[in-house]
Amino acid sequence: MIKSITNNPDNSNIQYAHNAAINVAGTAGGIIGARILSRASRIPAMPVIHNLVKLERSVSVEHSRTILDALEQMKNNSVLKDTNFETKIFDKATFEDADMSKKYQTAIRVDKKLSKFIKSDAIRAYIAGTYSKRPLYAIIKGAGAAYAEEKNMAYFADNYLIAGPHEYGHAIIHNTKGTLGKFLSNAYAFIGRHRISNKVLILGLLARNHSDKDEKDLNTFEKAEKRFHKYLPFITGALSIPCLFNEAQASITVAKYMKPLLPQKVFKQMNKGNIMGFATYVMAAALNMGCVAAGVKIKDATCNALKKYFSSKEENKPS
């Protein structure tokens, strides 16, 4: 009987290419699985975003004016005073024309087209979310807020003023030099801009788990490769730390400035909104870890299935 390619010492190059091809195929399966699951994992965050929008609706016109006045005072009595920081408040009706990211605008256009056929906010949010990582219900409801580090500008819709102070918090952190918050703010922006999480995911899935070898038979590189593959969910989870710290610090920072400037009721609403918003980031980080862990399982299962398939094929060949 012909020896299996994987067991033939005379075909080391063929064996290496064979195993590499299986590893790449398994990696592709893991990435596809993780991506599909990551889309679905956004659904549990929707009720939180929905409540955020409901909270915004509870802010009266009078209180909205109070928030805008408080933001102006905070701008003139903080580190933002001597910077080129700007604010852009846009109308809900022209939200898609705002100077926001193309993905953000695309999500809104997709939702408008879907609204003719699909009445469910949740389903539309799920589909539109394919094009944007922004809070989905906020997109669907025509509300939104963001801080752009590269432009040093805060954006928010006129029907989403409760989120305005939080974006000012990001601006204060970004314009405060030599602090841990500033460092993590830059790290957060760097990770997002260069898609570090995606690259780590691909590298981690490409790393082999060496399940067919004993630990004592592995060299230093193979041990590191195995650990990288095994702990990939925790490594990708660690990449969320700058984001979580940055979001929490933005809310805490702005609360110090806004407490004496807002009525107690509005201040409590603002804090409640910040807490719910932070919950979505924590939920997203946890769900992302779960998706990566599932991707690792899918990759390993795919590789094992392919190895068994080719092994059985070799064994069934006539001698």
Tell me the average confidence (pLDDT) per consecutive run of 10 residues in the chain, 319 residues long: 44 70 82 79 68 68 78 83 83 56 72 82 72 62 74 79 85 81 80 82 82 76 85 89 89 89 86 84 85 88 83 68
Instruction: Round to whole Å and give the CA distance between 166 and 235.
Output: 28
Q: DSSP class of residue 2?
A: P
The pLDDT assigned to 234 comes to: 92
Q: Which residues of 43-67 are buried (b: 16+ CB within 10 A; e: fewer)?
A: eebbebbbebbebbeebeeebbebb
Residues in CB range of 161: below 8 A, 6 or more apart: 56, 59, 64, 67, 68, 89
Long-range contacts of 98-105 (CB under 8 A, 24+ apart): 98/155, 98/157, 99/155, 100/144, 100/146, 100/155, 101/132, 103/131, 103/132, 103/133, 103/134, 104/132, 104/134, 104/139, 104/144, 104/146
Of the CA atoms within 13 Å of residue 230, those in its CB half-sphere come to 9
Instruction: Round to whole Å and give the CA distance between 282 and 288.
Output: 10
The pLDDT assigned to 143 comes to: 66
Instruction: Round to whole Å and give the CA distance between 62 and 252.
Output: 25
Residues in CB range of 299: below 8 A, 6 or more apart: 26, 27, 29, 30, 33, 205
Neighbour order of strands in the sheet with 86-90: 86-90, 153-157, 145-148
Q: Estimate the crossing angle of helix 164-174 against helix 241-258, to 10 degrees.
A: 110
Structure tokens at 158: 């006129």
Burial class (CB in 10 A: 0-12, 13-18, 19+), 12: exposed
The pLDDT assigned to 316 comes to: 65
Burial class (CB in 10 A: 0-12, 13-18, 19+), 84: exposed
310, 14 contact by CB (below 8 A) = no
Instruction: Round to whole Å and give the CA distance between 295 and 248.
Output: 29
Burial class (CB in 10 A: 0-12, 13-18, 19+), 302: buried
Residues in CB range of 95: below 8 A, 6 or more apart: 108, 142, 144, 157
**CA 211 from centre of chain:** 31
The pLDDT assigned to 131 comes to: 59
Instruction: Round to whole Å and give the CA distance between 162 and 51.
Output: 13
Structure tokens at 70: 């408080």
The pLDDT assigned to 60 comes to: 61
Structure tokens at 164: 């305005």
Helical (H) or strand (E) element with 155: strand 153-157
